[in-house]
Chain A
């Protein structure tokens, strides 16, 4: 079943000469984890706000389960849990209050909403913050609270705006694990935007790459990776000042003063490893191309 059907969507803000996004078409199927990747200013938040009906589109259609978003006043909010990017949305509520009221307003009975509150505090590791007001939380804690609120009384669809920004590595892992579990155990369709391709790879099933307001490609990462010319990524690190000696036909990219990255085809691997002086290496990682590589491949091609 198609959850979201986005057709030829465009948005130009009043007074702007360039559209924030244009000619965007894609579908999200039920039970899918769909990630929208894009750099800063690519139009990700504009698109997501159009998808949760917070921003009118200049042209195009968005259908949710086959119906326009606004065909009934409460149609979208009764199906979609949305996590906004703004950090002050729950300003004066305590963590426990925000979770309880969100669950109750989404139709749960009082006792069930209280249980849901306690369950969410535990799930999102926020039990020690239950009586803190949102305005006193750190940026990362607020983001986690907004995510917990979006998942209260679990909607069929979650739309998340940068769910892991500002979070420490431990909390980022918690977020991806919980989202994957919600998708696996409850069949929740999850749509999120991020500029962190490396993080998104942990969960994403299908991806859309947004660049300068245009959706340049959509598909499953493994299928898209087949289009990559060089499917292997080699990262090597040397002592400072010791440049690597590599076959001349390769174009290594210097990541830091001591770390280099090379994209390879399989047949080049033997020659490269033979050319490397292993004793001078401080680190070496060989992996298949990542979602980040995919992202750069398509963005650089534009």
Chain B
């Protein structure tokens, strides 16, 4: 029988693939800086002028909502365009002929883009809280909340990336999706100012749940709502990730016999 090369174990595969994907900073840093930090920062400033008179709760919502929009717009768009590029330029074929699992690759892409978006996110966090005069009281749970806020939107970006027929389709669909998630629920606006139907949708909208979880773990107070937020974020991520894995055709799944 033939001698086969041995695939690396899961952690080593994941580390290699994350490091490979981190090389995407070479093209994505401008987009991450502009879409992930500058756009949400300007939006945050604009909304805060309007909401200053509405009290600290409204400012907290604008602050957490802007952070979510930063994570959504940046990660969703970047991952979508990266996956589309990989599909149409042959990068996926390169990975498909290496002894790696496709779920490991998708996870590595999401982790890498999350890490790449962190500087923009931290900039927004520091500058935004200073501008809005919000005093932060980070809870240790924030370390779990931040990745969980990014994962659902990244998975949606990957899903769009594996589904669309062209990069143009992918670009417009990801912007539309980001704004839909941002608009359908209390993400940037207080729940009491939204119609009933949007409040109901907001209960299961991962962007609204991410904003709620961020608000509780960054500013406080932390209440039982956090458990529901995390459960929805986690469940949504798992579902989308499963669908992405199913839809990603990178090796022929069967040969006719």
- Interface set of A (CB-CB < 8 Å, partner B): 1, 3, 50, 52-62, 65, 68-70, 73-82, 84-94, 97, 101-102, 104-107, 133, 149, 153, 155-156
Instruction: Take A73-B101, A78-B7, A78-B99 as given contacts and tell me if A54 and B252 are in contact as well, using a CB distance cutoff of 8 Å.
Output: yes
- Within the complex, the shortest CB–CB distance from B23 to chain A, in Å, comes to 4
The complex places the Cα of A60 from the Cα of B257 at a distance, in Å, of 6
B8 at the interface (CB under 8 A from A): yes
- Please give me the 5 A-B residue pairs with the lowest Cβ-Cβ distance, nearest first: A86-B90, A107-B6, A88-B89, A56-B252, A82-B97
B172 at the interface (CB under 8 A from A): no
The complex places the Cα of A133 from the Cα of B100 at a distance, in Å, of 23
The complex places the Cα of A70 from the Cα of B96 at a distance, in Å, of 12
**Number of residue pairs A-B, CB distance < 8 angstroms:** 132
Instruction: Please indicate the chain B residues that have their CB under 8 angstroms from the CB of A86 in the complex.
Output: 89-90, 93
B26 at the interface (CB under 8 A from A): yes
Q: Select from chain B the residue with minimum beta-carbon distance to A110.
A: B12
For the residues of B in contact with A, the DSSP-based class is loop
The complex places the Cα of A97 from the Cα of B13 at a distance, in Å, of 15
Q: Select from chain A the residue with minimum beta-carbon distance to B9.
A: A107
Instruction: Please indicate the chain B residues that have their CB under 8 angstroms from the CB of A56 in the complex.
Output: 252-256
Residue among A92, A93, A155 with most chain B CB within 10 A: A92
- B3–A156 touching, CB < 8 Å: yes
- Within the complex, the shortest CB–CB distance from B102 to chain A, in Å, comes to 9
Q: 5 A-B pairs, CB-CB below 8 angstroms?
A: A3-B2, A57-B252, A57-B255, A70-B255, A77-B99
Q: Select from chain B the residue with minimum beta-carbon distance to A86.
A: B90
Instruction: Please indicate the chain B residues that have their CB under 8 angstroms from the CB of A70 in the complex.
Output: 251-255
Instruction: Take A107-B8, A153-B5 as given contacts and tell me if A69 and B255 are in contact as well, using a CB distance cutoff of 8 Å.
Output: yes
- Within the complex, the shortest CB–CB distance from B34 to chain A, in Å, comes to 19
- A133–B26 touching, CB < 8 Å: yes
The complex places the Cα of A155 from the Cα of B250 at a distance, in Å, of 20
- Within the complex, the shortest CB–CB distance from A1 to chain B, in Å, comes to 8
Instruction: Take A65-B2, A87-B90 as given contacts and tell me if A81 and B27 are in contact as well, using a CB distance cutoff of 8 Å.
Output: no
Instruction: Please indicate the chain A residues that have their CB under 8 angstroms from the CB of B26 in the complex.
Output: 92, 133
- A88–B255 touching, CB < 8 Å: no
- Within the complex, the shortest CB–CB distance from B83 to chain A, in Å, comes to 13
Given contacts A65-B1, A133-B26, 6 further A-B contacts (CB under 8 A): A54-B97, A78-B6, A86-B93, A92-B26, A94-B23, A156-B2
Instruction: Please indicate the chain B residues that have their CB under 8 angstroms from the CB of A73 in the complex.
Output: 101, 251
Instruction: Please indicate the chain A residues that have their CB under 8 angstroms from the CB of B89 in the complex.
Output: 86, 88-89, 91
- Within the complex, the shortest CB–CB distance from A29 to chain B, in Å, comes to 13
Interface string of B87-109 (1 = CB under 8 A from A): 00111011011111100000000
B30 at the interface (CB under 8 A from A): no
Instruction: Please indicate the chain A residues that have their CB under 8 angstroms from the CB of B193 in the complex.
Output: none
Q: Which of B5, B27, B253 contacts A155 (CB 8 A)?
A: B5
Interface string of B6-30 (1 = CB under 8 A from A): 1110001100110110011011000
- A88–B91 touching, CB < 8 Å: yes
Q: Select from chain B the residue with minimum beta-carbon distance to A77.
A: B99
The complex places the Cα of A3 from the Cα of B1 at a distance, in Å, of 10
- A101–B19 touching, CB < 8 Å: yes
Instruction: Please indicate the chain A residues that have their CB under 8 angstroms from the CB of B256 in the complex.
Output: 56-61
- A106–B255 touching, CB < 8 Å: no
